[in-house]
A and B are shown apart, each in its own frame.
Chain A
């Protein structure tokens, strides 16, 4: 099975396949990377989320293209054209609700995917580039979701666009010019809506390209697994098809029941009612809340106190609370790129790292807490909790992650995947847990 090599493809029997494959080895490629592709035999359901994300990306592109057939990117028509999609276009309500909730599903899945990687050390050598491309995909997803949310031109669309584009004004010297450039004017207006529509169409294809690189990097060193040890040959691995294609399909079935359940029975669960009001440049809604998947970053943005960096008044012009908040928010994501170098423990999986395992769950709870705080007004106790949670986020990544390996006594790793999972084999080894 894993004997098939890149240049010595399978010996095709079908003459047409053989003819094509000799000129464009597309069948060999598919055989190699989808069917024979050797995969650790012990992958759990936490490994379903990658393929689910791929499927949701396709769903988003498909529904998005069909919505664009009926959407008009003009400030006078955008809101009404979305309402027309809901009322007059055949199944327009369905396609729109799938696209709308699809974004939420996309982020829900990607967060699970990321936390899987964090728990099992999937970012560690030799998968650093795989991880970094993943962070870039996350950033592109956020940009795409943001410009997409602007398109219906509701109140949240307009004010979210205003707030987020204003983040760029903190860049020293050229910030205000960049904001004017992003807007194409002096406020968020028709030129802004126009270009956001164009970018919202373009960016998913950028994501597609990044996903291709992500998979290329993955297939170069193959999947990690719950034990975090490398597969050492045939006994540790099974071909992707049919074993994992069927497992992924089963996961897809369960996911679609949940996804369609939301679409049909609670389509506005994740949304903000305020966005069913037409955008009004003169009235800011009393409570501006971003979509749920941006809440933790929003909490970090608001948490940085006034004199955090500038406590001694040394940098009065460049660094104020606004600037440091924006820096902290972007750092909270970009810092993840450095994770492979911050975590120097040689053991990948948290299963064998008793201290890291506890810290992981604290960090997970901390991220949920940040999300909760992001939805509350930034005042009083909530502000204090937000600050502590923000502090912990960076403390975990910058201090705990690098220094825990120095004191942590890891458990013994099994000799191989097969030894760990085939407990009743002739050669019974020490099972993992």
Chain B
């Protein structure tokens, strides 16, 4: 101790010693330990097992008339299921991709041969409100699809963003047709 102190007091340049190595190793182990200790506290806030263990949802489509929509729940989120009219399908298919903010063809958003059925996560991609237009009588926005009242985003008949602050189209959840009249979401 006294040796090294007197050396430094001499004003002689500090030479690297094995003590410097010990210093660095000790601090490193301490930092790694602190990081490892912090992780459980952070991860505790991530979805728990019961939240993750979300069963998929089976939905019967037989009661839905043409031009009608229903809202189902999946993972705490509303799922819009709309049986589109021919006019709506036509409108959705004739839009030029260059007119879209988040370009996607209508075919990419429905199952092949089932273009009547539009299944989407009914959450505005701006800040998460539920847009209007899924119930009859609600305003459907300038593109005859959905309209989000929170900050004025307009979606078309394919659920694609056309106007307003939302950046993306409505997401399509993973789903498949079990039969002509039932789908399985998730």
- Enumerate chain A interface residues (CB-CB to B < 8 A): 159, 162-167, 180-189, 191, 195, 281-288, 302, 304, 306, 320-323, 325, 377-379
**Is A282 in contact with B71, judged by CB distance below 8 angstroms?**
yes
Residues of A within 8 A of B114 (CB): none
B-side binding surface: helix, strand, loop or mixed? loop
Q: CA separation between A180 and B45, bound complex, in Å?
A: 9
Residues of A within 8 A of B54 (CB): 186
**Is B129 in contact with A184, judged by CB distance below 8 angstroms?**
no
In the A-B complex, the 5 residue pairs with the smallest Cβ-Cβ separation, listed nearest first, are A187-B76, A166-B128, A166-B127, A320-B167, A284-B130
Residues of A within 8 A of B149 (CB): 284-288
| Contact (A187, B77) CB under 8 Å given A163-B128, A284-B149, A325-B165 | yes
List, sorted by A's number, 18 A–B pairs whose CB atoms are closer than 8 Å.
A181-B42, A184-B45, A185-B76, A186-B51, A186-B54, A186-B76, A188-B76, A191-B47, A195-B45, A283-B130, A284-B131, A284-B148, A286-B149, A288-B150, A304-B165, A306-B165, A322-B127, A322-B165
**Is B76 in contact with A322, judged by CB distance below 8 angstroms?**
no
Q: CA separation between A166 and B129, bound complex, in Å?
A: 10
Residue of A nearest to B129 (CB): A284
CB contact between A282 and one of B45, B48, B130, B152 (< 8 Å): that residue: B130
Q: CA separation between A188 and B51, bound complex, in Å?
A: 12
Residue of A nearest to B47 (CB): A185
CB contact between B165 and one of A184, A288, A302, A377 (< 8 Å): that residue: A302
Q: CA separation between A231 and B44, bound complex, in Å?
A: 53
B contact residues, total (Cβ < 8 Å): 29
**Is B51 in contact with A163, judged by CB distance below 8 angstroms?**
no
Q: CA separation between A283 and B48, bound complex, in Å?
A: 26
Q: CA separation between A72 and B101, bound complex, in Å?
A: 44
Q: CA separation between A304 and B132, bound complex, in Å?
A: 23
| Contact (A187, B127) CB under 8 Å given A181-B46, A377-B152 | no
Residues of B within 8 A of A191 (CB): 47-48, 51
**Is A162 in contact with B127, judged by CB distance below 8 angstroms?**
yes
**Is B150 in contact with A163, judged by CB distance below 8 angstroms?**
yes
Q: CA separation between A195 and B73, bound complex, in Å?
A: 23
Q: CA separation between A128 and B150, bound complex, in Å?
A: 38
| Contact (A379, B152) CB under 8 Å given A163-B127, A284-B129 | yes
Q: How far is the CB of B151 from chain A (nearest CB, A)?
A: 5
| Contact (A180, B46) CB under 8 Å given A284-B149, A302-B151 | yes
**Is B150 in contact with A281, judged by CB distance below 8 angstroms?**
no
Among B45, B75, B78, B127, the most chain A Cβ lie within 10 Å of the Cβ of B127
